[in-house]
Amino acid sequence: MFLPKYPDTPTSPPAHTHTTAEPTPVRRPVPQISVSTGAVAAVLVGGVVLTALLAAVAVTAISVAVAAVVLRSMLREQHRR
């Protein structure tokens, strides 16, 4: 009843067929991002200009602060006399 049934002796060797348990994923093309040289140059120049402006504002703020301290000390000495 539960005995295995063997096939008759084959005349040719069995053909090997490989089947995968899971289907292979579909490969989608990766989008190509093309950045032109002009765009890179524009970003670099913009960064340099913004950095220079920030440095100019910082130097101006420090100069105004130093001038305010000097004027304050000069006016304080003038009021004491």
Angle at the Cα of 52 from the Cα atoms of 50 and 58, rounded to 5 degrees: 105
Domain ranges of the chain: 53-81
What is the rounded distance in angstroms from the CA atom of residue 56 to the CA atom of residue 52?
Answer: 6
Structure tokens at 79: 């009021």
**SS3 state of residue 46:** helix
Written as tens digits, the pLDDT of the chain (81 aa) is 678 787 777 666 656 666 666 777 788 887 777 878 999 999 999 999 999 999 999 999 999 999 999 999 999 887 776
Instruction: Check residue 41 and give its pLDDT.
Output: 93
pLDDT digits (tens, 9 = 90+) for 26-36: 888 877 778 78
Whole-model pTM above 0.95? no
Residue where the block lists tokens 């504002």: 57
